[in-house]
Every structure is written in C-alpha cells, then in structure tokens.
C-alpha cells in the first residue's frame, strides 16, 4: 500500500536533500494526490470516494424503457421505408377488361329487354317471404345491378338476407337474378338460420344473439322480447319486418372445403341462379 503524499504531512527533513528544481509546486502535488488511485494509510486525511448504488427495480425499468425505445425506432424505420416504396402497381390482364365490358353490355341489354317486356310482379298470397343468397361474382356488372346488390346487403358471395315480397322487391330480384338464388323458406329453415348464424348489428358491430335481453332492449317497443318473437315476425313478414331485418346482420353462409379446389364443380352443385321456390330450403341446409 502506498502512502499519501499530502503537503501538510511533509517534514523539513524529507525535502531538505532535494534541489529546488526537484520540488514541484504545492498545487501540482495536491492534484497528484487527488488523482492517486492507491488507498491512503490509516490516519491520513485522504477520504475514499464511494460509487453511488442504484436500486435494482430502477435498473430494470431503464432496461425495459431502452428496449421499448429500440422497438419504436425500428418500427418507425420500417414505416418510413414503406412510405418511400409507395403503393405497388397492380397489373390487370387484357382478358379481364374484355370480360368486364362484355358482362356490362350483357346486363344493359337484359335490363333494356326487361323494361320493354315487364314480367309478372304480382305477389303470391301463399308466400310473403323470400330468402336471397348471392352465388356469383359481380365484377364488371352494370351499376344498376351493383346498386340493387347494395340495397339487399349482399356485398359478399354466399351471404343471404330475408326479403319481404312486394312488387318493388320482385322487380329488384329480377334485376339481380343472374347473380342470386332465391326462394320461399319454410319455418324450419328460418329457425335454423337465426339460431345458428343470427347476429345483431349494434353500433356497426356484430353481436351474437345469445341473450333475450339484447333483443328486448332494441326491439322491445315493437313487442319483440325474445328469439321466438323475432323468428315469428320474420316468417310472417309482419308489421315490423323491415326494422327486424335491419337489426340482423346479413347471414354469412359456409362454403364446402372442396370449393377452392374445384370451383366449377362446386358451382354446378349450387345450381343455376334465379327463383327456386321451395327448393331454396335444400340450398339453405347445404350452406348452413
């Protein structure tokens, strides 16, 4: 262990044998003493400096904060690169333009003929309810067809809705007839659809119909307080049919697994679009 060379402890004998040039200034000696790393002797005036301790939880917080900052910086860099790249250009084949143009022309001709020769728009007395399922794609079709599809809320393939048969609704169904299948469901099909796939539309969100309190809260003023009342109102196409159908989300039906592998064969199994009458119940059981 070395000794502390402080000027206050030097004796006259210790420096008498040195020349004046060999004796540094007192300020330089004091600085050298402060920078000296060797410990001081006991009883000397030199005091050790202790390293301040940091709590373990504070170190953990610092480490976590640094990790979060690093992740945020990495994500910001990735977002900046995505913005620099921009939206990728999507190429469309010439055949797609020809197909869309042909479908639009075919729809225009069909709608023009339908206006010249209007069909029967008399609602049958025995059937007041229809279930409509979209089974075909509508890319490139007429704007009028797209508008009717939006009114029926059939924005995706294999979605279905209940429609009350009126002269206006029959005309709408004739406009979209090549792209939908519709018919007259029985009470069993209506019940199975609502019990299995019924969802309410509340604040633009899907809510499963698992509680009668939910139905009573939104349809209680119409006298509908439970699921059975809702099923009866739809099947009978009653006074509050429009409000009940707006309360329900469109039914998303299931598709067979082999549909993606053999689309042509699956569409043959689905059958031709248009009115099917009572045969719509078989299609409901196939897709439900």
Mean pLDDT of 231-258: 88
Query: Quick check: 283 pLDDT over 60?
Result: yes
Q: Where in the chain is the domain with CATH 3.30.1390.20?
A: 94-198+249-287
List C-alpha distances in Å: 275 to 26, 174, 183, 245, 252. Answer: 112, 9, 6, 21, 20
pLDDT band at 262 (very low <50, low <70, confident <90, very high): low
CB atoms within 10 A of CB 70: 10
Q: Which of 4-8, 174-178, 266-270 has the lowest mean pLDDT?
A: 4-8
Q: In terms of DSSP bridges, do strands 180-183 and 274-277 run parallel, antiparallel, or are they unpaired?
A: parallel
Residue 171 φ then ψ, to 5°: -65, -40
What sign does the dihedral 98-100-106-108 (CA atoms) show? negative
The residue ranking higher by pLDDT, 31 or 207, is 207
Q: Would you identify the CATH topology of the domain 94-198+249-287?
A: Ribosomal Protein L30; Chain: A, (3.30.1390)
Given this model, what pLDDT does residue 5 score?
46
Could you give the CA distance from residue 198 to residue 192 in angstroms, rounded to a whole number?
A: 9
Provide the token pair at 228. 């059975």
Note the helical H segments in the chain: 12-16, 26-35, 56-85, 94-116, 143-151, 167-175, 187-197, 212-219, 227-235, 241-247, 263-270, 280-287
Mean pLDDT of 181-203: 92
Could you give the CA distance from residue 15 to residue 21 in angstroms, rounded to a whole number?
A: 12
Q: Which of 30-39, 103-112, 119-128, 203-212 has the lowest mean pLDDT?
A: 30-39
Most confident option among 20-34, 127-141, 259-273: 127-141
Given this model, what pLDDT does residue 96 score?
86
pLDDT band at 203 (very low <50, low <70, confident <90, very high): confident
């Amino acid at each position: 262990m070395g000794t502390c060379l402080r000027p206050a402890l030097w004796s006259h004998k210790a420096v008498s044998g040195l020349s004046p040039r060999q004796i540094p200034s007192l300020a330089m000696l004091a600085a050298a003493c402060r920078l000296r790393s060797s410990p001081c002797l006991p009883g000397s005036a030199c005091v050790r400096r202790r390293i301040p301790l940091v709590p373990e939880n504070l170190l953990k917080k610092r480490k976590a904060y640094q990790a979060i900052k690093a992740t945020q910086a990495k994500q910001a860099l990735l977002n900046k690169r995505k913005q620099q790249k921009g939206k990728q250009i999507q190429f469309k084949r010439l055949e797609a333009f020809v197909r869309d143009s042909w479908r639009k022309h075919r729809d225009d001709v069909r709608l023009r003929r339908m206006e010249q020769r209007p069909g029967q728009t008399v609602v049958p007395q025995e059937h007041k309810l229809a279930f409509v399922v979209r089974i075909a794609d509508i890319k490139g079709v007429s704007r009028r067809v797209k508008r009717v599809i939006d009114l029926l809320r059939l924005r995706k393939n294999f979605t279905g809705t209940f429609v009350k048969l009126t002269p206006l609704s029959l005309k709408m169904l004739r406009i979209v007839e090549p792209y939908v299948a519709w018919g007259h469901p029985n009470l069993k099909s209506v019940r199975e659809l609502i019990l299995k796939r019924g969802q309410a539309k509340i604040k633009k969100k899907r809510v499963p119909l698992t509680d009668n309190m939910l139905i009573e809260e939104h349809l209680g003023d119409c006298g509908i307080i439970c699921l059975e009342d809702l099923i009866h109102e739809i099947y009978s196409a009653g006074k509050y049919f429009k409000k009940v159908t707006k309360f329900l989300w469109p039914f998303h039906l299931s598709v067979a697994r082999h549909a993606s592998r053999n689309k042509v064969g699956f569409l043959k199994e689905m059958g031709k679009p248009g009115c099917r009458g009572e045969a719509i119940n078989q299609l409901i059981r196939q897709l439900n």
